[in-house]
A and B are shown apart, each in its own frame.
Chain A
């Protein structure tokens, strides 16, 4: 359909007779502020309406799975960080759980508490990045500054714990690398107390804002059936009204001891499963995370933070599929071991990869600007999509 001008064929549009036009092919990305990374979406548009969208992946492909086959079990952890670099702690935890389950390692209680604490803080930090950048997508720049200010406090704590701001290598097989001290725990408490009020304010300012609602309600609707068909998980699935959270339904770590709710989209401002619902789920998940963090701060006990793991890890032959609830959805590690010092095969089931595959069903019939809203609302990190 390139360049060839059709003879002046006319079609009827309403009560007007207009010239028939060809579809226009546009490339959104790989460098584009709205794709949140190096994603290229090839879109065919009829004036401003998107007719077809095809995502092209692989611009950040590093073949992590091949690397993992040549590394010992501890050496994989820093590589795992580099998948979802906005939620590296959650990535590490899932991997360590898979190996620990195969080894039958007992993790000390304090380490379990610390893991839950950092995973929930990480969830807040990750959702704040979503919230901030989504504000920018919608034309509200101020939220970004507020969110990054709050996220900074979490990153500063992580930096003290692990020595790094984004790629931590903190959760180790058998426990965590370093203990957390009382002063840090006190600061977490001050942070959540302050942040809870702030978050309520943000939600009132942005979520209840008329322009924001106009831009997101009834846009990018995903039904329950579509979500199951495409294998969506996490906030996308919950946004479509399905009450499913691995922390509740298949508890790992010590989540069964904690009291929190699963937030689902209810279609408050529009249809169930639209962009506003996904926004709502993420915001109110942060309140639930705060609840969990408060319980951790109450329940945490003194003790060791590292279990007994032999210096050279050899995982018995077999396989395991371990999934955990990460900020962006379910992350699954399919680990196959042949009894050696390195994994025989380590496949990562990434939720972002799955959600990217849903773009072709969200896009048709939308305005180009709404496609930006939809891509932002499924919240993908390209490091995890391409691995």
Chain B
């Protein structure tokens, strides 16, 4: 199915550069060019994918990968549509330094909240979105939490974000102590012992 869709997309949207990634484990996906996302989505909607389930981003060292999860409720299909973007600068709260991509709200209204969440969590600027505000964090929050290099800001509106007296240090100390005294804390309780044949292999896997 993915190969078919990729070749169809290449025919309908020039420059979309659709490539099918056929996976051996899990789900396959179709990768397209970020600049053509709006045309690709329109073509796919005409193809029968009538529902946008989610828009989600993943942060890698050199790129941000957006995944559009589409579903076709008539023919019972689903498709992971992927695209790559640069990372931009996601340390502050400035939309201009973020990677840009066209919004698909005009195709499915479901994209409205989904794109807002992706903007809030990953830091992608959806151009043409009617109401691109942060959705889960406060409007003046700094940084994008689901980026890998995200550091929690120390102060928010003169409030300390992670005050020392609210961190349960007793738990941390207990774990640390266990590790020092016993080496592998999982060996403490008998419930972790199993009669599996692959135990020796797992032990190698472990610490």
Q: Which positions in A face B, CB cutoff 8 Å? A: 57-58, 61, 63, 65-66, 101-102, 228-231, 242, 244, 249-250, 308, 310-312, 314, 316-321, 323, 330, 332, 334-336, 344-345, 347, 349, 353-354, 356-357, 386-387
In the bound complex, CA of A49 to CA of B192 (Å): 61
**Which chain B residues border A101 with CB–CB below 8 Å?**
26
- With an 8 A cutoff between CB atoms, is B180 at the interface? no
B36–chain A nearest beta-carbon distance, Å: 22
**Which chain B residues border A356 with CB–CB below 8 Å?**
113
Q: Are B202 and A312 in contact (CB under 8 A)?
A: yes
Q: Are B73 and A318 in contact (CB under 8 A)?
A: no
Q: Are A249 and B76 in contact (CB under 8 A)?
A: yes
Q: Which positions in B face A, CB cutoff 8 Å? A: 23-27, 29, 50-54, 56, 58-59, 67, 69, 73, 76, 78, 80, 108-110, 112-113, 117, 121, 135-138, 145-146, 192, 194, 196, 198-199, 201-202, 205-206
**Which chain A residues border B192 with CB–CB below 8 Å?**
311
User: How many CB-defined contacts (below 8 Å) exist between A and B?
Assistant: 107
**Which chain B residues border A330 with CB–CB below 8 Å?**
53
> Given the known A-B contacts A312-B206, A321-B27, are A344 and B58 also in contact in the complex, defined by CB atoms under 8 Å?
yes
**Which chain A residues border B108 with CB–CB below 8 Å?**
229-231
> Given the known A-B contacts A230-B110, A354-B113, are A332 and B73 also in contact in the complex, defined by CB atoms under 8 Å?
no
Q: Are A57 and B136 in contact (CB under 8 A)?
A: yes
Q: Are A314 and B205 in contact (CB under 8 A)?
A: yes
Q: Are A319 and B26 in contact (CB under 8 A)?
A: yes
In the bound complex, CA of A336 to CA of B60 (Å): 12
B188–chain A nearest beta-carbon distance, Å: 15
The 7 closest A-B pairs by CB, nearest first: A231-B110, A320-B26, A318-B26, A357-B113, A318-B25, A349-B54, A311-B202
Across the interface, B199 reaches (CB within 8 A) one of A311, A334, A354, namely A311
Q: Of residues A61, A102, A314, which shows the largest number of chain B Cβ atoms within 10 Å of its Cβ?
A: A61
Across the interface, B202 reaches (CB within 8 A) one of A231, A310, A332, A353, namely A310
B112–chain A nearest beta-carbon distance, Å: 6
